[in-house]
Amino acid sequence: MATILVTGATGTVGTELISALANRGLTVRAGVHSLIKGDRLRQMHPELQLVEIEYSKPQTLHVALTGVDRLCLITPFSEDQVEIGKRVIDAAKLAGVQHIVRLSAAGADAEPGIQLGRWHREVERHLEQSGIPYTILRPGSFMQNFVNYNAESICHEGKLYMPLGNGKVSYIDARDIALTAAHILSAEGSTHHGQAYELTGPQALGLDEVAAAISQATGQPVTYVDVPEETARQAMGQAPAWMSEAMLELYGLSKAGYAAGVTNTVEAITGCPPHTIEQFAHHNCHRFKASS
Ligand SMILES: NC(=O)c1ccc[n+]([C@@H]2O[C@H](COP(=O)([O-])OP(=O)(O)OC[C@H]3O[C@@H](n4cnc5c(N)ncnc54)[C@H](OP(=O)(O)O)[C@@H]3O)[C@@H](O)[C@H]2O)c1
């Protein structure tokens, strides 16, 4: 039975991937940073192996990767993301891992692209040159960002603040990224080796359409407010400059319509059409309502 390690297992995609890998006849090992979050994951999946990973401590990578056949490499949005990605790939090579599925980002191969994409491309290149069979997943913006970053203003003000103008984006539900990764990780043979897949949701949406879907699901009014770039910069005041500048660049690209492309890759690989924004909003409607 193949052993699969998922890094970032308690994050947005990782949590869904652990669920998607259940009952596939594989040994699943969750690489977790926080053992408390890891324990919560194991309560849902008692058969799960848990292993602590701290990217800055190579010994934890050595332990986590021992006996691993396939790896799903998910790294956080951090200043040292490139270094971390390369370090894990090198450790996987030493451990004899036979296939790496890498969570990258849409447009990573664009020239000259944006900074977020260039960071991902550097890790992709390292993987391509490692000699380890690999598959690269390049999803667009996650629908779950609305839960993680916009739920507070949606709950308390009925407002979705973003600097995207009328730009449309083909938002993808993280469950579809996870399901695609699970199919690839559990596939026998080399069909997906050497491939890079752009993953999107079923359609490109403006934020007024996203607000309408959330409003419909919650039964409460939600309005999109297009904020100027400078206001968005100030709102990210606590964030380090590398992060806010990279995000503003992504927003600019989305506003200009460059994140609106739609692919059929999720359905082609999984056999299931990707979730719509309405399905996402219904599934998460409790997250968009203020608790009374
Ligand atoms: N959000 C988007 O719209 C989007 C779109 C395309 C691509 N992406 C890419 O997706 C990736 C992020 O995926 P995600 O959103 O699923 O992740 P996430 O929710 O941000 O979770 C990150 C995971 O990494 C763990 N982690 C953080 N620091 C660590 C460390 N020092 N050592 C070990 N583990 C550590 C976290 O654990 P703790 O919580 O316990 O620290 C968490 O499980 C990024 O590469 C991003 O560029 C995101």
Ligand 1: residue of 15, 34, 74 to mutate (most ligand atoms within 8 A of CB) is: 74
Mean pLDDT of the chain: 97
| Domain count for the chain | 2
Give pTM, 2 decimals. Answer: 0.98
What domain range includes position 9? 3-141+173-199
pLDDT for residue 223 is more than 70: yes
pLDDT for residue 292 is more than 70: no
Is the residue at 266 inside a domain? no
Is the residue at 101 inside a domain? yes
Residue length of the chain:
292
Q: Tell me: do 191 and 90 sit in the same domain.
A: yes
Is the residue at 235 inside a domain? yes
Q: What is the pLDDT of residues 142-179, one digit of tens each?
A: 999 999 999 999 999 999 999 999 999 999 999 999 99
The neighbouring-strand residues paired with 139 are 199
CATH of the domain at 53: 3.40.50.720
User: How far, in whole angstroms, is CA 197 from its chain's centroid?
Assistant: 14
What does each C-alpha distance from 253 to 111, 149, 164, 240 come to in angstroms?
Answer: 13, 19, 9, 20
pLDDT, mean of residues 192-204 = 98
pLDDT for residue 262 is more than 60: yes
pLDDT for residue 133 is more than 90: yes
CATH of the domain at 238: 3.90.25.10
Q: Tell me: do 283 and 177 sit in the same domain.
A: no
Q: Tell me: do 163 and 230 sit in the same domain.
A: yes
pLDDT, mean of residues 73-94 = 98
Ligand 1: residue of 34, 41, 54, 75 to mutate (most ligand atoms within 8 A of CB) is: 75
pLDDT for residue 77 is more than 80: yes
pLDDT, mean of residues 9-33 = 96
- Rounded CA-CA distance 123/242 in Å is 18
- CA–centroid distance, residue 183 to ligand 1 (Å): 21
Ligand 1: residue of 77, 81, 123 to mutate (most ligand atoms within 8 A of CB) is: 77
Buried b (16+ CB within 10 A) or exposed e, 79-114: eebbebbbbbbebbeebebebbbbbbbbbbbeeebb
Buried b (16+ CB within 10 A) or exposed e, 25-52: ebbbbbbbbeeeebeebbeebeebbbbe
Write down the pLDDT at residue 23: 85
Please say whether the beta carbons of 182 and 174 come within 8 A: no
34: tokens are 């926080």
Sign of CA dihedral 275, 123, 49, 66: positive
pLDDT, mean of residues 243-267 = 97
Write down the pLDDT at residue 56: 95
- CA–centroid distance, residue 12 to ligand 1 (Å): 7
- Rounded CA-CA distance 99/271 in Å is 22
Q: Tell me: do 8 and 106 sit in the same domain.
A: yes
